[in-house]
Amino acid sequence: MQADKLSKYRPCPAVPLRDRSWPSKTITVAPAWCSVDLRDGNQALRQPMNIAQKLEMFELLVEIGFKEIEVGFPAASTIEYDFLRKLIDEGHIPDDVTVQVLTQAREPLIRKSFEALRGVKKAIVHLYNSTSTLQREVVFKMGQQEIIALGVRGAEVIREEAARFDGDIRYQYSPESFTGTELDFALEICEAVAAVWEPSPERPVILNLPATVEMSTPNIYADQIEWFIRKLKQRDSIRISLHAHNDRGCAVAATELALMAGADRVEGTLFGNGERTGNVDILTLALNMFSQGVDPKLDFSNINRVTEVYQRCTGLPVHPRHPYVGELVYTAFSGSHQDAISKGMEALENDKSGLWAVPYLPIDPKDVGRSYESIICINSQSGKGGAAYIMNQEFGYKLPKKMRPGFGRLVQEETERVGSELSAKAVLAVFEREYLRQQQGGIRLKQFNVVKRHVDQHEEMSVANIEAVVEVDNRELHLQESGNGPLDAFCAALRRDAGLDFALTSYHEHALTEGSSAKAVTYIEVLGSDHGEAWWGAGIDTDIIISSIKALLSAINRMQAGR
């Protein structure tokens, strides 16, 4: 930045709160949530939602579990008036959900808001007027007492209308741009407005303290909230609500700290959609709590549905790296990350504690309706752990640890060849091509039989006689041999009759499928006569003996081909 521009700006003043208590507190219970997607979120769209889209969004919010939903500013917009009437007249509002309407402190707007609410069972009327120093001096050119009078008169009109209203009306007041308002003045106007409504513990008033423009670091917002709560009269009759915007990119942090400072309620939107840089993201806030073992009282167990409805109704995309939700947030491309995740998932299978503890994954993707399929994706940055994880999670292949580096190199070569990310099926195709398919010019198994097995109870060993036919360089070779087992006998026959010099150094097997026709997969490592590089092979068959013979030939063929 140009140094001469700095003189235009000044830091937000600190709050005189020396013995602040919020830094030592933690969030242990969820706040009351109020969605403002249909108001703040809607007014931030290039193309505002139509009534059908609004209804779909409302129903989604109800499904998620919001008990308070701000449905709009019915006195200022025909479509918002008509939408509220549709909700009421067609019975879309569940008995346990309270709708909230916004109105400025202007008598005609207040009276029209109540007209729009006729027939509703429960509602919050949300009154606001601007209180900040800048707004008073530049926009309204009014002094503090004039601003207080405006707010108080609005509260009186609301009280008059509520007295004639059949439904249950609750009251909310917002000193707009609270964070740009002198704290003592914000307290004075809030108490003056609340006094008109005569709050009680049984019928508390909501005082909503918005960071209409995020002007400071999150700790200062928390200080402002704690200062306000300490000075507030009738605290037991007031619900302190937060409404943070995201101009500095810190709305989530600011809200979390302000909750620690004693706030009771949070207004925000899904995915943080709001004017300028947005409102606080309730979804992120809720899942942050969830990740700490706190019940957020909102249901995001099907996050893909939430995303899909949101995108369809608003026309806005969800960033692929959006916390908890984005397409790539549970995806690792880095080899070291993939290896750590793979090992963490393996350890989790044997952990009986029930606690989630996997590197790089703060929550279990399945808890929000995501699958493990996209946790690890394969590109040129990927390593051995990622390819092995894909093979295990998607296809059931549990590659031995010593086999993984070689397979990882093959997969990396493939990503560089195609120049893009590999799908899980493409990773499997590399495995099948390199390990399972017979190679040209190699040794092919034509026939294999175990002729006889002898078991010696005293020596705790068995002897097997085998017969086999293999094709070597387009000629058939008939093998007969005995050994400790069929595989040992086959190795001996290959050394003697095919002139091969190798040592079998590792053997692993496991069932690949379940049931009476289950297939077994075998992994074998061989070392050539020069005792240099080790070579792995794999084989699959319903007969475990045949799968081991196939794996041996796969390893030998790869060794001979230098592949």
Confidence of residue 516 (pLDDT cuts 50, 70, 90): low
Can you give the pLDDT at residue 371? 75
Task: Reply yes or no on whether the pLDDT at 457 is more than 60.
Answer: no
For position 420, what pLDDT does the model report? 80
User: Three-state SS for 357?
Assistant: coil
Mind listing the pLDDT tens digit for each residue in 393-403? 889 999 998 99
Q: Among all chains, which residue has been given the structure tokens 């081909």?
A: 561
Residues 6+ apart with CB under 8 A from 1: none
Amino acid, single-letter form, for residue 441: G
Highest mean pLDDT among 118-127, 339-348, 404-413, 465-474: 118-127
Q: What is the pLDDT of residue 41?
A: 96
Averaged pLDDT, 318-338: 83
What is the pLDDT averaged over residues 86-91?
98
- Read off the pLDDT of each residue in 284-294 and give the average, rounded to a whole number: 98
Q: Render pLDDT for 92-114 as a digit per residue (tens, 0 to 9).
A: 999 999 999 999 999 999 999 99
What is the Rg, in whole angstroms, of the alpha carbon atoms belonging to the chain? 34
Alpha-carbon span 465 to 505, nearest angstrom: 22
Which pLDDT value is given to residue 107? 96
Point out the annotated binding site. Answer: 40, 243, 245, 279
The Cα 331–Cα 376 span in angstroms is 5
Angstrom distance (rounded) from CA 36 to CA 51:
16
**In the sheet where 520-528 sits, what is the strand order?**
502-511, 520-528, 534-541
Q: Are 288 and 282 in contact (CB under 8 A)?
A: no
Superfamily of domain covering 443-561: Alpha-isopropylmalate synthase LeuA, regulatory domain (3.30.160.270)
Residue 560: predicted pLDDT: 86
* Among 335-344, 352-361, 536-545, 549-558, the least confident range: 335-344
**Spatial distance between the Cα atoms of 456 and 557, rounded to a whole number of angstroms:** 34
In this model, does residue 289 exceed pLDDT 80?
yes
* Residue 390 reports pLDDT greater than 90: no
SS3 content of the chain, % helix, strand, coil (to 5): 45, 20, 35
Tell me the two tokens of residue 255.
Answer: 């809200």
- Lowest-confidence pick of 194-198, 199-203, 415-419, 507-511: 415-419
Confidence label for 453 from pLDDT (cuts 50, 70 and 90): confident
Confidence of residue 341 (pLDDT cuts 50, 70, 90): confident
For 249-264, what is the mean pLDDT? 98
| Burial track 413-444 (b if 16+ CB lie within 10 A, e otherwise) | ebbeeeeeebebebbbebbeebbbeebeebbb
DSSP 11: P
At 517 the pLDDT is 66
- The three state secondary structure string of 103-147 is EECCHHHHHHHHHHHCCCCEEEEEEEEECCHHHHHHHHCCCHHHH
Give yes or no for residue 218 having a pLDDT over 80.
Answer: yes
Asked whether the domain spanning 443-561 has the same topology as the one spanning 28-314, the reply is no
**Residue 135: partners with Cβ closer than 8 Å, 6 or more residues away:** 176, 177, 180
Greater confidence (2 vs 191) lies with 191
CA proximity to 213, closest of 271, 131, 101, 106: 131
Query: In one letter, which amino acid is 79?
Result: I
Give the integer Cα–Cα distance in Å for 116 and 236: 31
Q: Say how far apart CA 536 and CA 551 lie, in whole Å.
A: 8
Nearest-angstrom CA–CA distance, 218 and 482: 77
Average pLDDT for the chain: 91
Residue 241 · residue 208 · CB < 8 Å: yes
Contact 481, 498 (CB under 8 A): no
CA atoms within 13 A on the CB side of 124: 28
Of 34, 161, 31, which is closest to residue 97 (Cα–Cα)?
Answer: 34
pLDDT score of 334: 67
The confidence score (pLDDT) of residue 533 equals 80
The Cα–Cα gap between 124 and 34 comes to: 11
Q: Which residues are annotated as a binding site for Mg(2+)?
A: 40, 243, 245, 279
Has residue 126 got a pLDDT over 90? yes
Lowest pLDDT segment from 75-79, 164-168, 378-382, 556-560: 378-382
C-alpha 70/C-alpha 124 separation (Å) is 8
Q: Supply the pLDDT for residue 561.
A: 84
Confidence of residue 89 (pLDDT cuts 50, 70, 90): very high
Second-level CATH architecture of 28-314: Alpha-Beta Barrel (3.20)
Cα–Cα dist 335/387, whole Å: 9
Nearest of 34, 57, 207, 43 to residue 123 by alpha carbon: 34
Cα distances from 264 to residues 29, 260, 261, 271, 383, in angstroms, run 10, 10, 10, 21, 47
In this structure, what token pair is assigned to residue 227?
């200062």
pLDDT-wise least confident of 290-299, 371-380, 427-436: 371-380
Cβ within 8 Å of residue 527, ≥6 positions away:
502, 503, 505, 534, 535
Domain ranges for the chain, please list them. 28-314, 335-436, 443-561
> Where is pLDDT greater, at 515 or 137?
137
**Rounded Cα–Cα distance for residues 520 and 504 (Å):** 19
Q: What's the pLDDT score for residue 206?
A: 98
